[in-house]
Structure 1
Amino acid sequence: MTIVINMRDRIDERKLRVAARLIREGKLVAFPTETVYGLGADALNEKAARRIFEAKGRPADNPLIVHIAEFSQVYELAREVPEEAKMLAKKFWPGPLTIVLPRREIVPDVTTGGLDTVAIRMPANEIALKLIKLSGRPIAAPSANISGKPSPTTAEHVADDFYGKIECIIDGGETKIGVESTVIDLTEWPPVLLRPGGLPLEEIEKVIGEVRIHPAVFGKKVDVAKSPGMKYKHYAPDAEVIVVEGPKEKVKRKIAELVKEFKEKGKRVGVIGSESYNADEFFYLGETVEEVARNLFKALRYMDKAKVDIVLAEGVEEKGLGLAVMNRLRKAAGYKIIKAD
C-alpha cells in the first residue's frame, strides 16, 4: 500500500510528519526537490538504503546522494570539509549542487556504493527540507524512477514506476528545474565536474576557479562511478533515441529527412524539439534552455506512453544548462548521434 500525500497547494506539516516517521522506520518515501523527484530513505540506515537499490533495480556500485537540511550536517557525514565546499555551499545551497567529499565511517558502504567518498546536497524545495528536518535524518535519495529510465518530474511519473511498491509518495507538483543536480568532486584538485546538472558549470567556476570536466560527461566509460550518471545507462525511454546535433537549420533538415525515412519503413516516429516535422508524435520542449531542461524527461516519458519506435531529438548548444541537457540526451540515446554538418 502506497500513501499519496497531496501538497501541491500548501505544506501540511501534520501529514509531512507521517512521511518523516516512515523515513525513521526505514521505509521509502518519494518526495519532490527542485530538480527531480527523489526516492528517499534514511542514509545512515544500511537496510533502508539497500531497499532503494532493490526498488529501483539499481547497481550496487552506483552511489546515492545524501540530502541534508543544514550545513552543519556536512561535518557529520564528511571527515574533511575544504574551504571550497564552504564557499560553494554559501553561494548555492539550498540548490541543485552536489558536493563529493571524503566520508566518515558513520555513512554505510551501501549508501556510498562502496566508495570512500560521500555525495551531499541541500535541496531548494521547502517540502524536501521540512521532511529532512522532521525526520531528523540525512536522506539518501536518487531519482525516483526505475533504474535506467527517464527521471520523474511529477508525482504521477513516480506512481507509474513505484505505486504499490513503496510506502509513500509526496505530491508537490511539477519540479522547477527538471534535470538532476550538478555534481562536483572536491576530493581532487582541480575540482572535477562528475555530472552536469541544474547549476551551470560557469557559475561554479566564478566561485572556485577552474573545474576539470570528467571524460564520463562526454561518454567515456569508467570503471568506478563517484557520482550517479557516470557509469550506467540512464534516462532512456523504451524507444530507440537518436540525437541530431549541429547548426540549427541543418539539424531541422536532417530530422525532416529522418522522419520521412523511418515512416516509409513503417516505424512510428516521435520528435522532441521545436517543431513536429510531420512525425507521428511530437513534444515541444520550449524556446529557452531552461524550458528544454524542465520538459526533457517529461517528453521522454510521453514518448513511452505514445508507444513510438523511434525518438528523434534536437540537440542544443552546450552552454549553461545546455551541457546538462546534452549529457542526458546522449545518455538516453546510448550515444546514437547523427551530426548534421
Structure 2
Amino acid sequence: MKFRFATIALLVGLSSASIANACTSVAWNTEKGTFTSRTNDWVEATNPTLGGIQQGDMRSLQGNGVGDFYQVKYDIVAVLAYGELVHDGVNSEGLQVNTLFYNPMHMPTASNPSAITQFVFGEYLLANYATVDEAVKAIPTLNVGSLALEGMPMEIKLHWSITDKSGDRAVIEFDEDGINIYRGEEAMVMTNDPSMQVHIENQKNHQPNWENADRETDIGSNGNANAKSRFLHASYFQSKLTEPTSIQNGLMKLASVPYRVPTDAPYKDFGFGMSGYATEWTLTQSLETGDSVFEYNFKENWNTVKFNVYELMGKEFRVALATSQISQLAI
C-alpha cells in the first residue's frame, strides 16, 4: 500500500548532512514475532554508542542541543552516532526506526528553530508515537527541515523505515513529488536510491525465477554493492526463510540475509578519489522480546554485543559499541 502526500507546504526537510549512511534494512514477520536486521555502511567510523533516552527528557529538535526543545513521551533505547544523534532505536511501545542514506531526498532548508531536522526526525517519531499507523498519520503535519552539520565527510540525504511489534512497517521517502510512504509487504526490504518504487518494480521482474530456485538460479542480483543489487539479494534470501525455532534462531537467520559490503572494496568516487564503503556495523532485533545483537566490524575494532532493549528502557546510560570485546577461549 502506498500513500502520497503532495502538499508542498508539508514537505520541508532533509537534504544536508546527517548521521545515516548507505545500508540495507530487512524485516521478517514470523509466528515468534517481528525480526529486523540492518547493516550500516559508511566511509568512516561513526563511533556508535548505545544509550537510553527517558520519558520526560527534553531533547533538541535540531540535534546535539541545537534549536528548540521538545519533551519525550516514550522511553527509547537507541544507537547514537556523532554525539547524541539517534541513528536507530526502539521505544517502550515496540516502535523501531532505521535510518538509511537516500540521495534523491528533495527538501528545503530549515528556516526556524522549531523545525525538526533530519538529525532528529527518526528520534522524534520514536519519542512521540506508539505504532507505525500513528506515525504515518502524523508525518504530513510535522514541521521539518534540513540543517547542515560540520564534520560530516559529505552531503547526506535520508529515508527511514519504521516497524512495530504488530509487524506493520513503512518506508518514508521525501521526494520531489511529495512524501511517498510504502507500507506492509512491499516495505520489508529497503536499501538506497533509486526510489522504493523503482526497487519494487525491479523485484517484480525477477520474482518469477525465485519460486523453484536452486544455487544456479539468477535471482537478479549481480553480486555488487550497489543498492539495486543489494535490494534483490535481501529480498530473495528473506523470501526463502522458514519459520524460526526460537528467538535466537530467528535473529541468526535474519542476520544472514542483508548483503554486507566487504572492507576495502572500491565503491564510489565521492569527489576525493575512489573510496570504500564497508559495513561498519549490523544490528539484528526481535521487536517482540527486545533481544538484540549488535556486530561491529571496522578499522581495528571487532565486537559483538547482545542486549535487550526492553530491559534497558527507562535507564540513563551510554555504552560504547565499537570497543573490541571478543572473548578469549579459556581451557
TM bucket normalised to smaller: under 0.3
Which of 1 and 2 has greater Rg?
1
Greater percentage in helix: 1
- TM-score normalised by L of structure 1: 0.26
Higher relative contact order (CA 8 A, sep 6+): 2
